[in-house]
Amino acid sequence: MMDWSWYYFEEALRNKLRGVQIIPEPTGSTLTEDRCQQLRNVIWKYQECFSNIPGNADLVTHDIELVSGKLMLSKTYRTSPRQNEILPKEIEKRLVMEIIEVGCSDYNSPIILVKAPGKEPWPCIDYRNLNKVTKTKFHSLPNIEERIETVSSAICITVLDLLKGYW
């Protein structure tokens, strides 16, 4: 049986290396065909903003400040033989795509595989212990009524997820 997720990863990587951008198609739309074509034209014009390949987002940056200067070391979790097969492949994918990089630090957090129904296991880092020694920062949120008022007269509204929000 072929591992299709790996096939799509390799295909996406080949496209990235060729500089090919994947242009999203308007879906689930109530727009007329003319409006859909206008939207396609705008998307095409700004195609460098769209990709199905993860990359670096520098829209928001921040520093993580710790409550104390203590070292924060966590034990690794026990993994099954199946997880030991999956993890190196997933780590290698992310290294190749430059989502992660090899590093050396006084801090560590264990990696776990999360399984969502109908999907392949997804590696996640358990930052709970780091969160315990992180200073809390508060930021005010925009007023929801003002946000709704801002978009209420829009002809077209879309949702952009910055490629699943995070890696």
Helix, strand, coil distribution of the chain in percent, nearest 5: 35, 5, 60
pTM above 0.85, yes or no: no
Higher pLDDT, 120 or 81: 81
* Distance separating alpha carbons of residues 131 and 126, to the nearest angstrom: 10
Task: Give the chain's mean pLDDT.
Answer: 76
User: Is it the case that residue 118 has pLDDT exceeding 70?
Assistant: yes
Instruction: Please give the pLDDT value at position 47.
Output: 76
Q: List the chain domain ranges.
A: 1-53, 61-136
Per-residue confidence band for 159, with pLDDT thresholds at 50, 70 and 90: low
Fold exhibited by the domain 61-136: HIV Type 1 Reverse Transcriptase; Chain A, domain 1 (3.10.10)
* CA geometry: angle 56, 148, 32, nearest 5 deg: 80
Answer whether residue 17 shows pLDDT above 50.
Answer: no
